[in-house]
């Protein structure tokens, strides 16, 4: 899905825009994605998995998102630079097509500026405008208090936990919490 560009104002006064990426912007997506993975252990992707990803892979990924009728990938651009992405995917099978799932990854330099809030407002609005969708789902890793605060502010509630869902390189095991928002 392609969404129309949405201008937003950051907490520091700068202007930004939320918009879909073109396949030609795959190098920026690749760089942003890896940077986010290096800056936090709260994402599933880890720099150790770097070899699984490539600019060509990201280009294909963008083409799939943009041509899909059930998924969208949206970037946040500040002064023309891609600083984070979010995505939404709706299930399409008969029994589960009332469900959507979302994810967000923003570069550390741009945390706490309101981008996550604007992204989630946009994703919720997309879900609300899709016929038959009644719930939105996401997850966060134990300790990610910023993500949890954002999601609870937007009305999401914890509905489940996977104990020891991820294991960090030092052996630390962390739970994954699932959250749901009834639309």
Where do contacts with ligand COA occur on this chain (CB under 6 A)? 36, 40, 42-43, 84, 104-106, 111-117, 140, 144-147, 149-150, 153
Q: Which residues pair with 102 in a beta bridge?
A: 88
For residues 113 and 115, give the distance between their C-alpha atoms in angstroms, rounded to a whole number.
6
Q: Shortest Cβ contact with ligand COA: which residue?
A: 116
In the bound complex, what is the minimum distance in angstroms from residue 95's beta carbon to ligand COA?
Answer: 26
Contact 43, 104 (CB under 8 A): no
How far apart are CB 73 and ligand COA at their closest, in Å?
A: 14
* Nearest CB to ligand COA, comparing residues 67 and 112: 112
User: Which is closer to ligand COA, CB of 16 or CB of 26?
Assistant: 16
Q: Which is nearer to ligand COA, 36 or 62 (CB)?
A: 36
Taking the complex as a whole, how short is the minimal distance between the CB of residue 157 and ligand COA, in angstroms?
A: 15
The two three-digit tokens of residue 22, written as one number: 């073109």
Nearest residue to 155 (alpha-carbon basis) of 180, 123, 128: 180
Contact (Cβ atoms closer than 8 angstroms) between residue 104 and residue 137:
no
Cα–Cα dist 174/54, whole Å: 28
In angstroms, give the least distance from the CB of 103 to ligand COA. 7
């Amino acid at each position: 899905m392609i969404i129309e560009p949405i201008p937003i104002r950051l907490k520091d006064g700068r202007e930004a825009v939320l918009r879909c990426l073109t396949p030609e912007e795959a190098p920026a997506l690749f760089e942003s994605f890896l940077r986010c993975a290096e800056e936090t252990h709260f994402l599933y992707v880890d720099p150790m998995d770097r070899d699984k990803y490539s600019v060509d892979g990201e280009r294909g990924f963008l083409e799939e998102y943009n041509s899909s009728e059930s998924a969208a990938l949206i970037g946040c651009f500040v002064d023309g630079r891609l600083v984070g992405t979010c995505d939404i995917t709706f299930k399409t099978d008969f029994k589960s097509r009332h469900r959507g799932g979302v994810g967000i990854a923003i570069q550390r330099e741009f945390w706490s500026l309101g981008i996550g809030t604007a992204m989630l407002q946009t994703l919720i609005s997309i879900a609300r405008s899709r016929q038959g969708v009644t719930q939105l789902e996401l997850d966060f890793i134990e300790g990610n208090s910023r993500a949890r605060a954002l999601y609870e502010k937007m009305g999401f509630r914890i509905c489940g936990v996977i104990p020891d869902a991820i294991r960090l390189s030092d052996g630390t095991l962390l739970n994954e919490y699932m959250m749901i928002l009834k639309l």
